[in-house]
A and B are shown apart, each in its own frame.
Chain A
Amino acid sequence: MRNRLSFVRLLAASLPLIALAGCSEESKQVVPDPTLIPADGLLRRLTETQFQSSLAAVFGPEIPVPVSPEPDVQLGRFLSVGATQATFSPRGVEAIEKVSFDLAKKAMANEVVRARLVACTPAATRDDACATTALSKLGEQLWRRPVTAEESAKFVELSGVAATTLGDFYAGLEYGIAGIIQSPNFLFRAELGENAGSGATSPRLNDFELATRLSYFFWNTSPDDALLAAAEQGLLSTDEGLRAQAERLFADPRVHGGVRNFFNEYFRLYELDKLDKDPTIFEHARPELGPIAREETLSTIEALLLEEEGDYRELFTGRRTFLNRELASVYRVPAPAREGFAEYVYPPDSPRAGFLGQLSFLGLNSHAVASSATLRGLFIRERLLCKRINPPPVNVSTALPEVNAEAQTLRDRLSTHATEPSCAGCHNLTDPIGLGLENFDAMGQFRTIDNGGEIDPAGDLDGAPFADARGMAEQVVSHEDFGSCFVSNLYRYATGHEENFTELPILEGLTGELEASGYRLKPAMIGIVMSEGFRSASKAQ
């Protein structure tokens, strides 16, 4: 029986890959009334930003915290999914050690922080009782669960020995603090599912694991005291208690951090730190421009989805954005503010609208010297419509013909890909929609001419015609896979795994809820939290 279950799990885990082979649609076959086979329990390494935000939540604004020195890994479109497969390199371990001692030293040197972390007053150079109080509390905050007496004793002993040697209680405590930070209990989020057999239809995460998953989903940082208290009281095991906490977390300003991080990963905005454009071609190409472009997108998202709780589709079709002077200069529109970012609304006849008209998308999915209809189309197909596109075969030249009198525009030059059988299968899925954005160059600047040829942005998306970029964006959000793809990505991000076929009914239900809600983010996130898939994990094999 054990072997059969393992085989089923293996099959379930493999199904997405099997279905995604080639350029075919992802499988949407729904198994009637399936029994959920939860994804295997996971140890999710804190991502670079989670490492930072989790420590900052404890040490406070007085102590600057770096991002994790161990680089993130992308899997299943997300760093948060890649984190389930990631570990630490020897160099990363050394770096973590250095960071932990550095933080501990700064924390103990700062009177405000020290008073916050060490509520007691040490009676002697070595005061195990006081150290226990401080380290147990810190351990609970950083490990996202209560620390056992046995666990605490190790760090108290370490601190005591160090304090005696160094002749200073707080200097000794630094060792205990550093040890807690270096512990796998901090560096990895345990989502192993320990509640099997508790009456649920499938093994569920324990309350502290659930609190952690919930907190990182909504806030991208560790649970606060209230959430840990709810876990302690067993409230998260009930629908009412879990929903109440989800509602509370969404209402908290920290939800901005969580939503920003989701879209940062979903849209690959973190790559904007290295936005590379040829400065001899683009006079606006500056190192700061990538982060500025990211801020435009994230500000638009926050305003639309959080502050107004608006329709997610408007992120792609809306005329409102947020610009600073530099970005306004790139887009050739009036700066809406003298300093910082401010709201800007494109005129009704502007060719630019939504995220697909922003530099973050247009620049990231281009080459350093020229736009790329293929990269832009690939992003839309894979990330917004969830269609897997295979990379080109290794023995195929992907170089485009040089510009010539007969082939001036990118559309002309890509025509080979549309007719060559070995290319057409995938390029016909990406290029026609990417060419709809050709009015925007690699810097996201509007143009009507490319290499002397007039750009024709018209095309169709799976048979639905569009005249230009705005029309194309309308067709994207009207596509039958748009809503389900968003739900799928949000679910992956939240749960840290690529969904298996037994989870498809869950996603189908969530998609229906998304559509019924008018594509609002809050019900989508809470719906995922309340789903069995979010609350479950099978025991790691």
Chain B
Amino acid sequence: MKTLTLSVLFAACAALSACADDGPAEAVLSAGDAFEGSASSGIAFGELTARPAVVVREIHVAGSVSSSIAPGFDLDGRVSNATDREACGKKDFTSPDGTTGIDNQLGAVWASVYDLAGVPVEGLIKAAVNDGKLAFVVEFDGLDDPWNDDDVTLRLFRGYNDKPIMGTTGVMQAGQTFEVRPDAPVVVAENAKIVDGRLRLSTEEYHLDLELLAEAFAINVVDMTFELQLQEDGTWNGYLGCGVSVAEISEIARTYAESESRIIIPLLPNIADLRPGSDNKCTYVSAVLELTGIEAFIAR
């Protein structure tokens, strides 16, 4: 059950979300010639219509590159060092491109966790993605140019596809049509922007109902930032950073992974670095996921 608990931790970070109040966001769809025709015209899907979107087909935990360098985002708006009480004394990283204040404490311990359970964890996530149960989608409305567009509406939600088609590389092939999970919250970001094929979204809180290995979980993630970069081959790569609740993950571990919880529960407070409580103990752990997305369609 350790595998399950860790998977919940990582998948929770993949709760893509956005808030319209966060101001203009950058958005990306895909390579310029990836979609044919008018993307916004809407095509019949039974009595429904379909819009272009991106679906995440690969998720990996982004570990630190070195003791000081790791991919991710500045989730709390602080450049913390070992004496910063707001970050519970957790020193931030610098990103490979030189950005300071990167929050990715899970990445710092990922190498050791990976030795123990990383392979099965990522296998579990991959299976969920390939089964269409973990289909994170960014839907685009009013897109004119996937490389540069100053006014596009984004909708972030979990998609649904009961029979995703696997490509020859063992991951979902591009261009598939997904539907909206009726029970999943949809976050709308209006007036978002695409700049040089780059999209960035942020939100403070998001609720995620997740199923892994037939178990259902309710997870709340905070301080989430989501960035995608369009590639010439039509795919897009990016990162998702967020804070995962120590209390929620600990509870899940106690319920579903009792034996492993003796390791997990003490670990989490020690790496927590976000949202300190009144007792000055941080209540959330920063984590970063590396994502690969492909073009898709959403049927509504």
- Residue B117 CB within 8 A of the other chain: no
B45-66 interface code vs A (CB 8 A; 1 in, 0 out): 1100010000000000000000
B43, B169, B174, B176: the one contacting A325 at CB < 8 Å is B176
Task: Specify which chain A residues have a CB less than 8 angstroms from the CB of B165 in the assembled complex.
Answer: 325-326, 329
Most buried by B among A283, A284, A331: A283
A283–B32 CB distance below 8 A: no
Task: Indicate if the CB atoms of A336 and B36 lie closer than 8 Å.
Answer: no
A334 near B173: Cβ-Cβ < 8 Å = no
How far, in whole Å, are A351 and B33 apart by their CA atoms in the complex?
A: 11
Contact A335 B45 (CB under 8 A): yes
User: Contact: A335 with B36, CB < 8 Å?
Assistant: no
* Interface-facing stretch out of A39-47, A266-274, A342-350, A384-392: A342-350
Contact of A351 among B36, B168, B295 (CB under 8 A): B36
Instruction: Evaluate contact between B33 and A446: CB separation under 8 angstroms.
Output: yes
In the complex, the answer to whether B33 meets A336 with C-beta atoms within 8 Å is no
**Given A283-B168, A284-B167, A325-B165, is A332 in contact with B36 using a C-beta cutoff of 8 Å?**
yes
Contacts of A338 in B (CB 8 A): 46
Instruction: Tell me if B44 counts as interface (CB < 8 A to partner A).
Output: yes
Residue of B whose beta carbon sits closest to that of A284: B173
Closest-CB distance, B47 to chain A (whole angstroms): 12
In addition to A286-B168, A334-B45, 15 A-B residue pairs with Cβ atoms within 8 Å of each other are A279-B168, A280-B168, A283-B168, A283-B174, A284-B174, A328-B177, A331-B36, A333-B37, A334-B43, A335-B50, A335-B297, A337-B45, A338-B46, A448-B32, A448-B33
Q: How far is the CB of B32 from chain A (nearest CB, A)?
A: 7
A166 CB within 8 Å of chain B: no
What is the chain A residue whose CB lies nearest that of B234?
A: A332
Jot down 18 A-B pairs with beta carbons below 8 A, ordered by A: A282-B168, A284-B173, A325-B163, A326-B165, A328-B177, A329-B173, A332-B34, A332-B175, A333-B36, A333-B37, A333-B175, A333-B297, A334-B297, A334-B299, A335-B177, A345-B43, A347-B41, A449-B33
- Please state if A329 and B176 are interface contacts (CB–CB under 8 Å): yes
Is A350 within 8 A of B168, CB to CB? no
* Interface size of A in residues (CB-CB distance below 8 Å): 33
Cβ B36 vs Cβ A350 within 8 A: yes
Specify which chain B residues have a CB less than 8 angstroms from the CB of A330 in the assembled complex.
175
**B173-200, CB < 8 A from A:** 173-177
Known: A332-B174, A350-B37. A283 touches B45 (CB 8 A): no
Contact with A along B23-41 (1 / 0, CB 8 A): 0000000001111111001
Tell me which residues across on chain B come within 8 A of A325, comparing CB atoms.
163, 165, 176-177
Question: In whole angstroms, how far apart are the Cα atoms of A501 and B168 in the complex?
Answer: 51
List A contacts of B297 (CB < 8 A). 328, 333-335
Q: Main secondary structure on chain A at its contact with chain B? A: loop
Decide: B176 and A335 in contact? CB cutoff 8 A. Answer: yes
Set of chain B residues within 8 Å of A15, measured between Cβ atoms: none
CB-CB under 8 A from A346, the residues of chain B are: 36-37
A332's nearest neighbour on chain B, judged by CB, is B175
Chain B residues within an 8 Å CB radius of A279: 168
Which residues in B have their C-beta under 8 angstroms from that of A349?
37-38
Whether, in the assembled complex, A285 has its beta carbon less than 8 Å from a beta carbon of chain B, the answer is: yes
Whether A344 pairs with B177 at a CB distance below 8 angstroms is no
A98 touches B (CB below 8 Å): no
Most buried by A among B32, B37, B44: B37
CA distance A12 to B209 in the complex (A): 78
Report whether B32 and A347 are in contact in the complex, using a CB–CB cutoff of 8 Å.
Answer: no
Chain A residues 398 to 449 lying within 8 A of chain B, measured CB to CB, are 446-449
Cβ-closest chain B residue relative to A445 = B175
B95 to chain A, nearest CB (A): 30
Contacts of B46 in A (CB 8 A): 337-338
| A352 interface contact, C-beta 8 A | yes
A309 to B97 alpha-carbon distance, docked (Å): 63
Q: How far is the CA of A352 from the CA of B33 in the complex (A)?
A: 13
Q: Among A284, A326, A345, A352, point to the contact of B36 (Cβ < 8 A).
A: A352
Q: How far is the CB of A318 from chain B (nearest CB, A)?
A: 15
| A352 CA to B168 CA, complexed, in Å | 25
CB neighbours of A448 from chain B (8 A): 32-33
The verdict on A336 contacting B41 (CB below 8 Å), with A283-B167, A283-B169, A283-B173 known, is no
